[in-house]
Structure 1
Amino acid sequence: MLAAKKSRPLPKGEEMTAVVSLEEVSGRTLRVARWRMDEPSDHPPVLFFNGIGANIEAVAPLAEAMTDRAFIMFDMPGTGESPDPTIPYNPFTMSWTAAKLLDRFGLDEVDVMGVSWGGAMAQHFALQHPKKTRKLVLCATTAGMLMVPGNPAAFTKMANPRRYIDANYMNEHFATLYGGMTKDVADKKSHIGRLKPPSPRGYIYQLLAMIGWTSLPALPFMSKDTLIMMGADDQIVPLINGKILNRMIPNSVLEVFEGGGHLFLLTHAEESIAMLREFLVPLVNEEPAAA
C-alpha cells in the first residue's frame, strides 16, 4: 500500500525550496523532501541516503545548490519528522521501501548517493535494485562491519546524544567529531542549527540496522559506475575505507579531499558539487530522464 498524506509546511526559518510531505509506504510513514521534480532536466534525479540520525535539513544545502537536477530524500523512521518505527528494519527492507517510494513518484531510474551510514544504504540499494540505479556516489563511508575504525575519541562523542541537543557541546567537539573543519564559523553554526535530534528508538534502530551487515563480498559484482569521495582528515571514517571500496568496486574512482573531514560536503562544497556534476553527467546516448 502506498498513499500520500497532506504536505506539511517547512519549519519556520528554513529556506529549503523542497516540497515536503508525509508519505505512507507499505506501512511506514516517512517525511519526504523533493526538489525540482516538476522541472524538465537532462539528468536523472538523485536519491540521497543521509547519515545516521541526520534529518533532511542537514544536507539540504547540497540539494539546493545542484539546481540542474531533481533530488529526493527522506528522514529515516524516528529521525527528523518521520514517526518512530514500530518494528526494526534492515538494509534490505529499507531499500525495498525506498524503491516503492520511487515508484510512488514515477521514477524508474535514479543516481544513488549516500553519506556515512547512508553510504552503506546506497551500496545496498544499488546491489538490490540495479535496474533503478544508474550511477552510485559514496561519501565518507565504508563496506560495513569490516570497516577500519576511526578515532576512538570521535566515536565516543558521536555516540553521545548531547551532540544533537546541546549546541555548545557540538561546537566544542566539532573538530574531534568531524575533522578538517573550515575556519568559517558561519558554516559550522549553520550546520549545527540544521540538526534535529532523532528519537532514542529511531537512533537505536538505525544502529541495529547495520549490525552484521557488510557489502564486501558483493562489491566485486557492483556493475555501476561509482564515485567514492573521502576526506583525508576524517576522524570517523578513515580514508583507508575509501581505498578498500575503490579496490573492490570494478568501475570506481576515488577522490580525496585534502584537509577534509567527515563533513567535506560542507567544508569543500564548491569542489564537491563540481565533482558531482562532472561524474553524474549523462552519457551522450542516454535518454533524458523524466522529471
Structure 2
Amino acid sequence: MLSVRGVEIRVSVRPARGRLAATPPLLLCNGIGASFEVLQPLVDRLDPDRGVIRFDVPGVGGSPLPPRPYLLATLAPRVADLAAQLGHGRFDVLGLSWGGGLAQQLSVQRRSNVRRLVLVATGTGTLMVPAHPRVLSKMVTPRRHRDPAYAREVAGLIYGGTMRTDPECGAELLHAATRAGPRRGYYYQLAAATGWCSLPFLRMISQPTLLLAGDDDPIVPLVNAKVMARLIRGAQLHVYPGGHLGVLTEAKALAPVIDHFLDLPDMRHTPGPRPRGWSRPTTTSHGVTWI
C-alpha cells in the first residue's frame, strides 16, 4: 500500500529483469469495479522480463475509499506520482475499458512520463458510439463484481466473445482471487468519467499508440476504435476475434501483440497534422499493414 497525495493505493509490482531490466515498466490501468487480480491472465502471458505495475483505483479492490470523489483529470497525476514513488519517472501505459480513459488522460496530462500507450476495448467517453441500452443497464451497478451467479447470467450479453458460449468464464474471471471494494467506490468511478470526453484532445496524444479492439464487444463497439485510430497520429489498430475482455480470455494470442509493440525501437514521435495521403493503419500480430 502506498500513500499518494494523501490517498492510500494498493499496488503490485513485478520488477523488470534480464534483457528488459533497463526498459520502462508497463503500468496497467484496470476496468471499472475490478481489483488488479483480474489482470493476472495478461500479466502471466507478457514477457516475464517486463516490469509490470498494477494498482487498485481508490475505493476499489484493496484500496480504501478516498476522502472525496475524483475526476480522471485529478486521478491521472496521482497515478504518475505513484509510479514516481516506485522509482519510475517514465513508463508505458496500458488501459483496459474504463482504464483506457485514464490512460488517455495520463498520456496528455503527464505526457513526459508516458513512453508508449496501449488502449484496449476503450472509447472516447461521453461522445462515442454507445453500447445497447440493455448492456448499459447492467453496467450501472457493481452487482456482477459481487455476485458470481449474476456475473454468469449476464457475461455473454455484456462482454460478448467467448463468454457468449462459456459464461462460466466470466464468473471465474471476475471472482477468482479478486477483492470487492465498497459499492461507493464503483460509483466514484462512474462519476469520475461523467462528462469526460477525449475527442477534443486525441490529436494531442504524441506517444506511439496501439489500439486493441474486439469484433464482438457489446460495451465498446468496434467502430469507436476505428475512429480513435484515425484521430491519434500514427496509431496502430489491431482487431481481434473476441469480446470486451479478450485481452484476458485470449491473453495467449494478444500478449505477444502488446510485447511486440512495446519492444519496437523508439523513434521521435511529435504531435502535428497528418501528411497528405495518410491511410488508416491496422496491425497484424507482428507489424503494421496500411489500408
TM over 0.5: yes
The answer to whether the Cα contact below 8 Å between 2:145 and 2:175 also exists between their aligned partners in 1 is no
RMSD: 1.9
Q: Match for residue 4 of structure 2?
A: 25
Q: Match for residue 190 of structure 1?
A: 172
Amino acid of the residue matched to residue 44 of structure 1? P
Query: Which of the residues 8, 11, 23 maps onto 1:43?
Result: 23
Matched, 1:110 2:82: no
Within 5 Å, give how 1:1-291 maps onto structure 2: 22-37=1-16, 41-66=21-46, 67-181=48-162, 183=165, 187-194=169-176, 195-258=178-241, 260-283=242-265
TM-score normalised by the chain length of structure 2? 0.85
Relative to structure 1, the CA distance from residue 150 to residue 104 in structure 2 (aligned partners, 3 Å threshold; closer, same or farther) is same
Deviation, structure 1 residue 65: 2.4
Unaligned stretches of 5+ in structure 2? Answer: 269-291
Identity level (%): 39
Relative to structure 1, the CA distance from residue 235 to residue 104 in structure 2 (aligned partners, 3 Å threshold; closer, same or farther) is same
Deviation, structure 1 residue 139: 0.3
Distance 2:181 2:36 in 1: 12
Distance 1:210 1:243 in 2: 21
TM-score normalised by the chain length of structure 1? 0.85
Distance 2:167 2:150 in 1: 15
Distance 1:142 1:48 in 2: 17
Q: Match for residue 289 of structure 1?
A: none
Aligned with 1:234: secondary structure?
A: coil
Relative to structure 1, the CA distance from residue 220 to residue 35 in structure 2 (aligned partners, 3 Å threshold; closer, same or farther) is same
The answer to whether the Cα contact below 8 Å between 1:35 and 1:63 also exists between their aligned partners in 2 is no
Relative to structure 1, the CA distance from residue 284 to residue 144 in structure 2 (aligned partners, 3 Å threshold; closer, same or farther) is closer
Relative to structure 1, the CA distance from residue 100 to residue 38 in structure 2 (aligned partners, 3 Å threshold; closer, same or farther) is farther
Q: Match for residue 17 of structure 1?
A: none
Deviation, structure 1 residue 131: 1.1
Relative to structure 1, the CA distance from residue 257 to residue 87 in structure 2 (aligned partners, 3 Å threshold; closer, same or farther) is same
